[in-house]
Amino acid sequence: MGLFSRKPKLPPTDRPPLAADERVLAWAAAGNGEGDGVVVASNLGLWLPGRGHRLGWHDILKAVWSGRELTVTPTEHVAERDGYALVADGSAETYLLLDPGELPHQVRARVTRSVAYTEHHRLPGGAARVAARRVAGVDGLTWTVRLDPGTPADDVALLAETDHLVTVARAATAPVDG
């Protein structure tokens, strides 16, 4: 490949149903043991084979690139709280990318860029990560509390503490009027 050559365009048959303001940033053919497909990164999120919808950048808890495989761990919605969502780790999905091109870089950059605030806290009975994420097309920040594995999602005292932690974090990140 020459200095100015580009990866071929995404074949129309592999193109996901993009929104009107959505554009493809990178893509790669993938296999995950259950058939092949295409992983597509857009300005709004990640399209994974076998899913009929886009996974927003803010909905990805973790994306790990091994040099051959991309493993994506999405959020799993547990409950809606006042001003934030309680989430847990969803099932990790791993895709073998034979010619990854810019895809791993775009995934890392976009997931990282979506995080505006993150802080891990020990709690009675477990731990949780308070996070504020930027969501494409949405003003302000979207708040989540990700419970560490084994942390009970139905403990009233623990939830009162997460409510307090989000309130404190919101106050600490609120713009100051000058």
What CA–CA distance (Å, rounded) separates 42 from 17? Answer: 11
What CA–CA distance (Å, rounded) separates 174 from 116? Answer: 12
What CA–CA distance (Å, rounded) separates 47 from 112? Answer: 17
What CA–CA distance (Å, rounded) separates 136 from 23? Answer: 12
Overall pTM > 0.85: yes
Contact between 30 and 38 under an 8 Å Cβ cutoff? The reply is yes
Domain boundaries defined on the chain: 20-173
Contact between 36 and 44 under an 8 Å Cβ cutoff? The reply is no
Instruction: Note the pLDDT of residue 51.
Output: 84
Contact between 75 and 133 under an 8 Å Cβ cutoff? The reply is no
Q: Which helix (H) or strand (E) holds 46?
A: strand 45-47
Find the angle CA(151)-CA(57)-CA(14) to the nearest 5 degrees: 125
Instruction: Note the pLDDT of residue 11.
Output: 87
Q: What is the CATH number of domain 20-173?
A: 2.30.29.30
At 157, phi and psi to the nearest 5?
Answer: -65, -40
- Spell out the per-residue pLDDT of the chain, length 178, in tens: 445 556 678 888 899 999 999 999 999 999 755 557 999 999 999 999 988 899 999 999 999 999 999 999 999 999 999 999 999 999 999 999 989 999 999 999 999 999 999 999 999 889 999 999 999 888 899 999 999 999 999 999 999 999 999 999 999 988 776 5
Q: Which helix (H) or strand (E) holds 78?
A: strand 69-81
Instruction: Note the pLDDT of residue 1.
Output: 45
Instruction: Note the pLDDT of residue 50.
Output: 83
Contact between 106 and 42 under an 8 Å Cβ cutoff? The reply is no
